[in-house]
């Protein structure tokens, strides 16, 4: 009987140690998971800061004016502090409503540049692709609407 009691006591102690060890591992895993989330957030913030730095400067695009068959040249200037200017110039039609947006705010969402009510762009391959409302790249005749940076 003493042997059975001793075996039960040893088994109970083993289970207790195993459960405490398991809790410690779960706590460690939770801490490691939180650290990974924080590291991911830090990497995303660093990537967005890098994109913001690369955006600063003058970008141009020549794109069709809606339903006119004509083209206009757009100049998009990104400034420090998440500000931008957007100007439409050299429109080939008098019907074109020229844009002149100054010191407006933009935000970054991963590699998407949101220009408030002035649309959204995708930063990829060193270019800015104009996006449709559904987030797909705007194209005409299989040609992307794209801004390229003016080399200074």
Q: What is the mean pLDDT of residues 58-64?
A: 89
Instruction: Quote the pLDDT of residue 60.
Output: 93
Instruction: Quote the pLDDT of residue 73.
Output: 87
Distances (CA, A) of 47 to 63, 76, 109, 115: 29, 21, 11, 19
The yes-or-no verdict on residue 77 having pLDDT over 90 is yes
pTM listed for this prediction: 0.67
The yes-or-no verdict on residue 22 having pLDDT over 60 is no
Query: CA torsion sign, 131 to 135 to 138 to 143?
Result: positive
Confidence class for position 4, pLDDT limits 50, 70, 90: very low
- Taking the C-alpha atoms of residue 136 and residue 124, their distance in angstroms, rounded to an integer, is 13
- Taking the C-alpha atoms of residue 100 and residue 74, their distance in angstroms, rounded to an integer, is 10
* β-strands 83-89, 107-109 pairing: unpaired
Confidence class for position 110, pLDDT limits 50, 70, 90: confident
Confidence class for position 17, pLDDT limits 50, 70, 90: low
Distance, CA of 38 to chain centre: 17
The yes-or-no verdict on residue 139 having pLDDT over 60 is yes
The yes-or-no verdict on residue 134 having pLDDT over 70 is yes
- Taking the C-alpha atoms of residue 59 and residue 51, their distance in angstroms, rounded to an integer, is 14
Confidence class for position 140, pLDDT limits 50, 70, 90: confident
Which residues on neighbouring strands pair with residue 2, listed in sequence order? none
Distances (CA, A) of 114 to 17, 38, 105, 123: 54, 24, 9, 11
């Amino acid at each position: 009987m003493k042997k059975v009691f001793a075996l039960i006591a040893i088994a109970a102690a083993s289970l207790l140690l195993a459960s405490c060890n398991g809790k410690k591992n779960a706590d460690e895993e939770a801490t490691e998971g939180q650290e990974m989330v924080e590291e991911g957030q830090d990497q995303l913030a660093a990537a967005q800061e890098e994109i913001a730095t690369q955006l600063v400067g003058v970008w141009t695009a020549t794109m069709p004016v809606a339903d006119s068959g004509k083209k206009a040249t757009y100049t998009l200037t990104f400034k420090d502090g998440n500000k931008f200017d957007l100007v439409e110039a050299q429109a080939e039609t008098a019907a074109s409503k020229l844009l002149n947006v100054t010191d407006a705010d933009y935000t970054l969402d991963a590699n998407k540049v949101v220009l408030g009510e002035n649309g959204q762009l995708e930063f990829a391959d060193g270019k800015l692709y104009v996006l449709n409302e559904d987030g797909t790249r705007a194209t005409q005749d299989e040609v992307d609407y794209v801004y390229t940076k003016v080399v200074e």
